[in-house]
């Protein structure tokens, strides 16, 4: 695993909300911020803020109002599963 991937995993695991959102996207697939908020019982504004942070690091991407994991995000999600 390269250093960049290790840094991304640290970034996500350092915040439970980031971790939960990546896990939801990994298990549910492409989904809206509102549905993530419902599944995880997190205020929608918090979900949107976290998604924006993840998008800055190219871990998630948005098409219309639908969010999905990027290829990097999928790799990270697989690694998180191994560590769970």
Give yes or no for a contact between 30 and 66, defined as CB atoms under 8 angstroms apart: yes
Whether 84 shows a pLDDT value over 80: the answer reads no
Strand partners, 31: 67
Q: What is the CATH number of the domain that holds 45?
A: 1.10.10.10
pTM of the model: 0.94
Residue 9 to residue 20: CA distance in whole angstroms: 13
pLDDT in tens, 38-47: 999 999 999 9
Q: Is 17 helix (H, G, I), strand (E, B) or coil?
A: helix
Q: Which domain holds residue 30?
A: 3-83
Name the domain count of the chain: 1
Whether 58 shows a pLDDT value over 90: the answer reads yes
Look at strands 31-32 and 60-63 and give their pairing: unpaired
């Amino acid at each position: 695993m390269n250093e960049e991937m290790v840094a991304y995993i640290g970034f996500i695991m350092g915040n439970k909300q980031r971790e939960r959102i990546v896990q939801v996207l990994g298990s549910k697939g492409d989904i809206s911020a509102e549905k993530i908020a419902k599944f995880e019982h997190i205020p929608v504004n918090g979900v949107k803020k976290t998604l924006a942070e993840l998008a800055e690091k190219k871990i998630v991407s948005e098409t219309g109002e639908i969010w999905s994991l990027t290829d990097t995000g999928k790799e990270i999600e697989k690694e998180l599963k191994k560590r769970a």
